[in-house]
Amino acid sequence: MTRPPDRPEPEPAGAALAGEDYPAEAAQTPAARLAAYIRGGGIIVPLLTALLAFLTAGLVMLFTGHDPLATYRAIFEGTGLQWLFPWVTGEDRVTAALNLQQTLIITTPLILTGLAVAFAFRAGLFNIGGQGQYVMGSIAAVWVGSSFGGMPGILHILLAIAAACLAGAAWAGIAGLLKATVGANEVISTIMLNYTAIYVGLWLFGLGGPLQNDREATLPVSNDIVEGAKLPVFWGDPVLQGLHIGLFVALLAAVAFWALLNRSTTGYEVRAVGLNPEAARYGGMSVGRNYLLVMAVCGLFAGLAGSLDILGWQFRLATNDIQAGTVGFTGIAVALLGRSTASGTVAAALLFGALFSGTSQRNLDPSIFEPELAGNLIPIIQGLVVLLVSADVLVLSLLRRGRGMLQPGRASRRALGGREGDA
């Protein structure tokens, strides 16, 4: 009944439409806040958020004595996105193609770890455990992929992927189960499970570990997966790390995410639980069961990401990869920037994938782009995105200054079908 006196509701259009009731007086779950945020500014706000992040990062470069424009240009060329321009020809086009393949290879798992966080957001949960779920998926995939040598290729791939999905789902399911049964905060439990997953990996593949490779006892690496378990490359040279078909799997997963959430009774329950758990219970849903289910689905997405990386281009798992990996964590920024919608997550994953490949050591021109800068630029931009998205209120109010551009009332009147601007 009593709300903390933080801020009055400066939501003019909402107030007018809701009549005398002060709007937003129901308990604000994260998902409800997200819903308000999604309504707030269409596609403008995430674009503005990204733009602000880039501008601020540019200022950092400027103050550290670099030329932001030249740097961003170099990054863009490193992404290979200019391949899309028909006027890029000859040698440039060949290089661009190679770079774009790298960009998309990195984008693939980011789409999935983004979905892993986004799905939880939509149910009012915060899945920080994408990294651990990704690692568990990788472990399962590399184990299955490097065993069963005689299996037919397709079956082997499907088996490895299924094992990875299950491993990720089970791992995240632990957090879901704890949340559903004893109310343990999923933020804490997923963070803890990240560490656990990483150390399980270090032990399995470390020196003397049970899954360490059979050939080189001094290397803390897994066995290589067998040739038949590798995902086919459909663009570029398999030897030069061409683009594997995992990209389509990730895009399919995004479509499945959208359909599950917006078109299935399960998704209806998930969204209801996320927006108002009390109303969900009143509607006859089991909130706890949904928490468990949602976390398992999140883990499935992240585990799938792990398997695609292993079967697509890594082919083996080394302990230092496990330790240094950030794909799961970047998924948080991807989901935030993509506003937990399917299409938004794909777009945000592409942005971060491009950033990673554009700043990767391979594409550097050391005269513009020192390695120190390259290595630190992504974390800066990523951090800024998370910060700015968290400060959504700030971005929205900046936007409102401009006035007239957005009319929340109108945005809220979109028809039922695809109202999140997903499709």
Partner 1 sequence: MPIEAPALELRGITKRFGPVVANDRVDFDLKRGEVHALLGENGAGKSTLMSILYGLYKPDEGEIRIDGEPVEVDSPAKAIELGIGMVHQHFMLVQVMTVTENIVLGAEPRRGGLLDVREGVRRVRELSDRYGLAVDPDAVIEDVTVGAQQRAEILRALYRDARILVLDEPTAVLTAQEADELFQVLRALRDGGVAIVFISHKLGEVLEIANRVTVLRRGRKIDTVPAAGATEQSLARLMVGREVLLRVEKPEGKPAGPALEVEDLHVRDDRALETVRGVSLTVRAGEIVALAGVDGNGQQELVEAIAGLRRPESGQIRVAGEEVGSAGVRDTCDAGVAHIAEDRQLRGLVLDFTLAENLALREYRSPPLSRHGWLSIGRMNSRARSLLREYDVRGGDPGTLASSLSGGNQQKVCIAREIASNPHLLIAHQPTRGLDVGAIEFVHRRLVTERDKGRGILLVSLESEEVRSLADRILVIYEGAIVGEFPPEASEEELGVAMTGGGAGQAAA
| Amino acid residing at 137 | G
User: Is residue 339 at the binding interface for partner 1, with CB under 8 A as the rule?
Assistant: no
Q: Which of 243, 275, 298, 302 binds partner 1 (CB under 8 A)?
A: 275
Take residue 149 and report the two structure tokens written for it.
């040598």
Take residue 287 and report the two structure tokens written for it.
């909130």
What does the alpha-carbon distance between residue 280 and residue 187 come to, in Å, rounded to a whole number?
Answer: 22
What does the alpha-carbon distance between residue 105 and residue 125 come to, in Å, rounded to a whole number?
Answer: 28
The nearer residue to partner 1, 31 or 381, going by C-beta atoms, is: 31
User: Is residue 36 at the binding interface for partner 1, with CB under 8 A as the rule?
Assistant: yes
What does the alpha-carbon distance between residue 126 and residue 101 come to, in Å, rounded to a whole number?
Answer: 31
Candidates 174-182, 184-192, 381-389, 407-415; binding stretch for partner 1 (CB under 8 A): 407-415
Alpha-helix residue ranges (DSSP H) falling in 6-129 = 12-17, 30-41, 44-63, 68-79, 90-122
The nearer residue to partner 1, 14 or 246, going by C-beta atoms, is: 14
User: Is residue 419 at the binding interface for partner 1, with CB under 8 A as the rule?
Assistant: yes
- Say which residues have a Cβ less than 8 Å from residue 84's Cβ, sequence separation at least 6: 100
**In the block, residue with structure tokens 């240094």:** 324
Q: Which of 133, 230, 263, 318 binds partner 1 (CB under 8 A)?
A: 263
Q: Applying CB under 8 A, what is the total number of residues that bind partner 1?
A: 55
User: Is residue 289 at the binding interface for partner 1, with CB under 8 A as the rule?
Assistant: no
User: Is residue 182 at the binding interface for partner 1, with CB under 8 A as the rule?
Assistant: no
The nearer residue to partner 1, 276 or 307, going by C-beta atoms, is: 276
Q: Which of 65, 90, 239, 265 binds partner 1 (CB under 8 A)?
A: 265
Candidates 35-43, 109-117, 173-181, 378-386; binding stretch for partner 1 (CB under 8 A): 35-43
C-alpha torsion sign, points 179, 185, 190, 195: negative
Q: Is 123 helix (H, G, I), strand (E, B) or coil?
A: coil
User: Is residue 399 at the binding interface for partner 1, with CB under 8 A as the rule?
Assistant: no
Do the Cβ atoms of 17 and 409 come closer than 8 Å? yes
Candidates 203-211, 280-288, 328-336, 337-345; binding stretch for partner 1 (CB under 8 A): 280-288
User: Is residue 27 at the binding interface for partner 1, with CB under 8 A as the rule?
Assistant: yes
* Partners of 221 in the β-ladder: 318
What does the alpha-carbon distance between residue 270 and residue 363 come to, in Å, rounded to a whole number?
Answer: 43
Chain contacts with partner 1 (rule: CB under 8 A): 1-5, 8, 10, 12-27, 31-32, 35-36, 39, 263-266, 268, 271-272, 275-276, 278-284, 286, 407, 409-410, 412-417, 419
